[in-house]
Amino acid sequence: MMKKICVALFALSLALALALPAFAAPQTMLIDEAGLLSRTEAAALDQRLLALSEQYQCDTVIVTVDSAGEATLKELMDGRYTGSDYGRGRDCLMLLIDAENKAWRLATWGDADAFTNAGLKFLNSQLYDELFEGDDNAALENYADWCARFHEQAQTGKPYDDGNLPQAANTPTPDAPQVLRDPNTISLLMDEAGLLSSGEAATLRAKLEALSEKWKNDIVIVTVDSIGRSTPMEFADDWFDYNGYGQATTGDITDGDGLLLLINMGERDWRISTKGYSIFAFTDAGIEFLGERLKADGLSDGGYANAFNGFADWCDKFFEKAAAGDPYDEGSLPKTSADVAKLVILAFGGGLVIAWFVMKGMKGKLKTVRKNSQAADYVRPGSLQVIYANEQFLYKNVTRVKQETESSSGGGGGSSTHSSSSGSSHGGGGGKF
């Protein structure tokens, strides 16, 4: 009897031992499918991420893939999260890296109070500096360092957010020289909202790089899920300035040329920020025109790839017009296919009206018998004699019409400007979609 009890207890213990891993936290926080790190580097980083995850009860995960394929980074990341045990019973921070397209995405699940929207933006700015441009292991180690600092700060009850972000090498201070980074190290497309597939993003990024090089103005597209407490104008201006966009040679952050299109999916905002030469090339009227084209090309209906590629093509045309010394502005905006269709309809309608009057006149000439409008036409000559005639003035009616003169208070056109937090002068405009 005792033997049977022992066997049963052993079987139960074995079953529990096999079942426990299903309920335990994942033991791998680094999945390096793209092979960015050596085995030794990967093992060391995985142990560090696991220690962070256990210490702060927030799974800190890094996943690298060769390519996201046709899926968007958001779709791929959501699939990796839901298909794993990450975040079970606690929070999760995941960094997904697409090695082929040099793209990445950061996202959190659960509360993850240590990582605010402003904090995630800050971490992204650090990844811009290091990822794919040097030692991948050092870049990811530095990323892990920042994650640890964010967790430590959150323990004080005041997580890093707007107004108290940590000081980093690429964050300018009043006493430090404000130097723009090399444009060749900056991605001109940051699809943080995951609106494009990897293939669409790669094609668009190549177009933006070619046009930016052609016109010596950075053409940037940024999509985000939220901009926090910032306004679209502040967010777009700061993203351009502090992430080093612009092809200036002076080394001053207030210099540089280019424009940035911001798409904020949370509040459905679009915003264009211009700087330097682009302020001249993209007038207020021109920016309003571009916003209408974005919506017409699919921005409001989910056709993001078509809308963004159309935007890049229009930028090429705007720079070409500005290079001739006459940028698109009020009264000289480009004609779209819809405008041409309206002109054709108006011309056709006007032709019909003119033809109707011509035909009416020709028809009138065919009548040989007409009504006589004068009574005298019906009187036999000599049969009417006037004995007495008298004329009496009854009244007069005067109509006065004011003569309008041209006003000299006209104006309009051109680009309005404002100063950003870095002291740079920006133009721009935006709206909802």
Instruction: Domain ranges for the chain, please list them.
Output: 25-171, 175-339+424-433
Mean pLDDT on 171-176: 39
Cα torsion for 428, 242, 195, 306, to the nearest 10°? 40
Give the closest residue to 245 by CA, choosing from 125, 416, 146: 125
At residue 176, the pLDDT reads: 36
Mean pLDDT on 11-39: 69
**Res. 307: pLDDT tops 90:** yes
**Res. 33: pLDDT tops 80:** yes
At residue 25, the pLDDT reads: 46
**Res. 71: pLDDT tops 80:** yes
Q: Token pair for residue 35?
A: 């092979």
**418 strand-pairing partners:** 426
**Res. 266: pLDDT tops 80:** yes
274 SS3 class: strand
Give the closest residue to 307 by CA, choosing from 258, 266, 261, 342: 261
**Res. 64: pLDDT tops 70:** yes
Total-model pTM = 0.58
Band (pLDDT 50/70/90 cuts) for residue 346 is: low
CB 226 within 8 A of CB 264: yes
Mean pLDDT taken over the chain: 81
More confident call, 180 vs 201 = 201
**CATH number for the domain whose boundaries are 175-339+424-433:** 3.10.310.50
Buried b or exposed e, range 203-221, using 16+ CB within 10 angstroms: ebbebbbebbeebebbbbb
Band (pLDDT 50/70/90 cuts) for residue 90 is: confident
Band (pLDDT 50/70/90 cuts) for residue 378 is: low
Q: Token pair for residue 15?
A: 């079953």
- What architecture (CATH level 2) is domain 25-171? Roll (3.10)
At residue 267, the pLDDT reads: 94
CATH topology agreement for domains 25-171 and 175-339+424-433: yes
Weakest-pLDDT range from 174-183, 230-239, 323-332, 350-359:
174-183
